[in-house]
Amino acid sequence: MTQSQHTGYVLIVDDDVMIRMLAAESLRGVGFEVAEAADGWSGLDHIASRRPDLLLLDVMMPGITGYDVCRALRQQSEGAGIPVIMLTGLDDTASIESAYDSGATDFITKPINSALLTYRVRYALRASRMGEEVERHRRSLANAQRIARMGSWTWQPASALFESSTEYRRVTGEHPMGPDYQWRDILMHVHPDDAKHVAHVINAAVESGNAQPVAYRILCRDGSQRTVYERMEVFRDGSGAISRIEGTTQDITERVAAEERIRQLADYDELTALANRRLFSEVMLHGLNQCARKRVSAAVLDINIDRFKRINETLGHGVGDQALKEVARRITECVRAGDVAGRNEVAPRQSSPARMGSDNFAMFLTELKRAEDAAVVSRRLIEAIALPMLCGGHELTLTARIGIAVYPDNGDTVDALLGNAESAMRGAKELGVGAYSYFTSAMNAESLAKLEIENELRGAIERDELTLFYQARVDAMTGRLIGAEALVRWQHPTRGLVPPNAFIPVAEESGLIAPLTAWVVREACRQLQQWQRAELAVVPLSINLSAHSFREDGLSGFIAASLREFDVAPSLLEAEITESMLMQDVDRAVTRLHQLRSIGIELAMDDFGTGYSSLAYLKRFPLNVLKIDRAFVKDVLTDTSDAAIASAIITLGRTMKLAVVAEGMERVEQANYLLSLGCRYMQGFLFAKPVPANVFVEFLRDGLAMPRGLHVRAVDTETAIRSSEDAPMVSVFNLAQSAPSRQLPVHMPADATISQSTPACASP
């Protein structure tokens, strides 16, 4: 053996100089570095200044004995691992036992056999180094386990011995594991929902050696819960019997939580915690497959909250969010399986609610008994949502509309059903608040047509395809033209002249109404300017405002700017607003109306009588004109209640000092009857249909021919006819306040009936 193979530093502690010399010589001879000490104390001092790799220690020494030195050494952290070989003259069992008891590694008897000594030293050193190596590995393994939060264990079926690492005990919740602890005992701490599966995995491993990885939840000693992932391997002996099972158990709580969070974000709506569109589509796909197999029906509900945007706009998003959460809660509550079945009305096997967009929810009902059951659920949802809710100190009442598409009648794919439920929901919109509607293919065709209109309308304004028609408004008592209503038309390249009812609703839904209204305002102003420049005596023009435009913040500013741009007096413009628009939110409407009045334009309530204005509200609206809806005029001669309403409106107008205009006058008898009731201002095909500007300009220039048989009151008309060019024209609005303002040429047709007396009541 070469010197280098035996590097090691040995300390010999013995009071016998001869023995020291002999031993040192033999050890140096095989390459060890050797130091000597003559007694126990100086030996300990020596160790403190330089740690030997091995100690040769005499038992009997003056001062302290070898046993005491060994014991002292084992107390120190430094000396605990040093291998100690005791040199003893006594080879009786008692002293050997004392040697081991004091912590010696080995012993050798005197006189020393130098060959034997070197072997013993070498062997002890090798064993000690291996021990150190093992300890180092054990420590780094424990470290790795701690970092990975992974414990390891071994179980031997024959001896029922279960050994586990420190980390295993930590990972599994620090439950006490006494010497009798068995592998199966872990089941006591497994989450009850997972215990059955874990027991099955353990049994499979023990009985057939089939080791499957398993993840389960564990209840820790401190009451918390953890998720662990366990893998195992089965070892067999020569006979094929299972000798041991080794396993690792890893704490995957954080990973599971992170995965859950990712899943939440990907599949669920953050605000309401309902499924999002992605997950909903998946659930539907799965559900539809099942329904196809079982040959049963299903339904998709598209649930839309009415005018939700207004809550956000007026009360802020915080309140809006609270309201949406509450809606989500009510939707979920409404269809809880037990609840639905409990009432024994409908029992869809499964109902999955989802949030599809801001104020848009959806519900999938599978295994419906009858398609009608979807309506029962819809009605219940509408009722639940309509209950007042308190959000951020505000009491809100929301209404919902629901569209229903039924599988398989209305489609057999997720997309088709969702699309059809949505168009059904749009259909429900026409039925009013809190309505639900089934999808029909007719409805689908309609929505397709609307979509087409929307796409084409987008470019219509830029392509200059819109035009205004003007319908005369007359004073039937004098036969004078006193104003005109500007009515938009779409000069479509292939469809021809498209009436507003065919595209205004689409424009409203798509947001195209804003540029459309802007165009109408400017076009009316431009036209007035053009007529004024042509030195025509213009009449006021009234424009129609849609609900959406009326709510728009910048509307009055825009109108004022347009009037200035075209140098038009504000009194030449009137805005028509429908009754229903004003009744939606009375306070806001009052503010809006005042804004519009403040720029100097006139205000008319269009289609009056169709809504449900109360007198109290009407008094708050700063209006100039009431327009009796065509519906009452139509049957005024035959329907006594229509006649009564018309009469009441006329009286109301007079009381409130508002001008009353009767719309949709088609027959001279209607006009005479309304004249007899005291309504002199009229509009309708009887006098003139809406006409393009180049035709209307003739009315301005030449006046309008009055229909045959109209009972015109002499006093006004005669003056009017006589004064011809200079006859004072009084606008409807100013008449109401009896303040003449404008000059207008009036031309009465030769065949107009001029009555000297009060017109006779036209008989129905």
Binding span for ligand C2E by CB under 6 A among 15-23, 233-241, 651-659, 682-690: 682-690
Query: Following CA atoms 528, 534, 537, 541 in sequence, which dihedral angle do they give, to the nearest 10 degrees?
Result: -10
| Tokens found for residue 465 | 């395809």
Residue that has been written with the tokens 């070498």 in this structure: 122
Give the residue, chosen from 14, 359, 523, 576, that forms a contact with Mg ion under the rule CB under 5 A. 576
Query: Which partner in ligand C2E, Mg ion, none is near 9 (CB below 5 to 8 A by kind)?
Result: none
Asked if 548 and 506 count as a contact pair (C-beta separation under 8 A), the reply is: no
Per-residue contact string for residues 493-522; x = within reach of ligand C2E by CB under 6 A: ------xxx--x---------------x--
- At 176 the three-state DSSP class reads coil
Binding span for Mg ion by CB under 5 A among 47-55, 218-226, 233-241, 576-584: 576-584
- At 755 the three-state DSSP class reads strand
Query: Which partner in ligand C2E, Mg ion, none is near 520 (CB below 5 to 8 A by kind)?
Result: ligand C2E
Written as one letter, the residue type at 633 is V
Query: Which partner in Mg ion, ligand C2E, none is near 72 (CB below 5 to 8 A by kind)?
Result: none
Q: How far is the CB of 671 from ligand C2E (least distance, A)?
A: 10
Q: How far is the CB of 472 from Mg ion (least distance, A)?
A: 13
Nearer to ligand C2E, 328 or 660 (CB): 660
How far, in Å, CA of 700 to CA of 743, rounded? 11
| Tokens found for residue 28 | 């140096």
DSSP category for residue 613: -
Give the Cβ contact number of residue 438 at 10 Å: 23
| Tokens found for residue 563 | 């009037």
Query: Which partner in Mg ion, ligand C2E, none is near 106 (CB below 5 to 8 A by kind)?
Result: none
Does 472 participate in binding ligand C2E (rule CB under 6 A)?
Answer: no
Does 662 participate in binding ligand C2E (rule CB under 6 A)?
Answer: no
User: Residue ranges of the alpha helices (H) in 209-365?
Assistant: 253-267, 277-294, 308-315, 317-334, 337-342
Q: How far is the CB of 731 from ligand C2E (least distance, A)?
A: 18
Q: How far is the CB of 471 from Mg ion (least distance, A)?
A: 9
Asked if 83 and 127 count as a contact pair (C-beta separation under 8 A), the reply is: yes
Asked if 88 and 95 count as a contact pair (C-beta separation under 8 A), the reply is: yes
In sequence order, the 6+-apart residues with CB closer than 8 A to the CB of 682 are 473, 474, 476, 661, 662, 663, 665, 671, 674
Per-residue contact string for residues 528-557; x = within reach of Mg ion by CB under 5 A: ----------------x-------------
Query: Which partner in Mg ion, ligand C2E, none is near 302 (CB below 5 to 8 A by kind)?
Result: none
Nearer to ligand C2E, 266 or 695 (CB): 695
Q: Residues touching ligand C2E: how many (CB under 6 A)?
A: 23
Give the residue, chosen from 297, 351, 471, 647, that forms a contact with ligand C2E under the rule CB under 6 A. 471
Does 478 participate in binding Mg ion (rule CB under 5 A)?
Answer: no
Does 609 participate in binding ligand C2E (rule CB under 6 A)?
Answer: no
Cis peptide before 111 (omega within 30 of 0): yes
Q: Give the per-residue SS3 of 711-727.
A: CEEHHHHHHHHHHHHHC
Give the residue, chosen from 86, 389, 665, 721, that forms a contact with ligand C2E under the rule CB under 6 A. 665
Query: Which partner in ligand C2E, Mg ion, none is near 437 (CB below 5 to 8 A by kind)?
Result: none
Does 15 participate in binding ligand C2E (rule CB under 6 A)?
Answer: no
Query: Burial, 84: exposed, middle or buried (Cβ in 10 Å; 0-12, 13-18, 19+)?
Result: buried
Does 574 participate in binding ligand C2E (rule CB under 6 A)?
Answer: no
Query: Which partner in ligand C2E, Mg ion, none is near 282 (CB below 5 to 8 A by kind)?
Result: none
Q: How far is the CB of 524 from ligand C2E (least distance, A)?
A: 9
Binders of ligand C2E in range 478-497 (CB under 6 A): 487-488
Query: Which partner in ligand C2E, Mg ion, none is near 167 (CB below 5 to 8 A by kind)?
Result: none
How far, in Å, CA of 678 to CA of 427, rounded? 41
Does 624 participate in binding ligand C2E (rule CB under 6 A)?
Answer: no
Query: Burial, 464: exposed, middle or buried (Cβ in 10 Å; 0-12, 13-18, 19+)?
Result: exposed
User: Residue ranges of the alpha helices (H) in 335-463?
Assistant: 337-342, 373-386, 414-431, 441-460
Give the residue, chosen from 88, 606, 626, 748, that forms a contact with Mg ion under the rule CB under 5 A. 606
Report the interface residues with ligand C2E, using CB under 6 A: 471, 487-488, 499-501, 504, 520, 543-546, 576, 606-607, 630, 664-666, 683-685, 690
* Contact residues for Mg ion, defined by CB under 5 A: 544, 576, 606-607
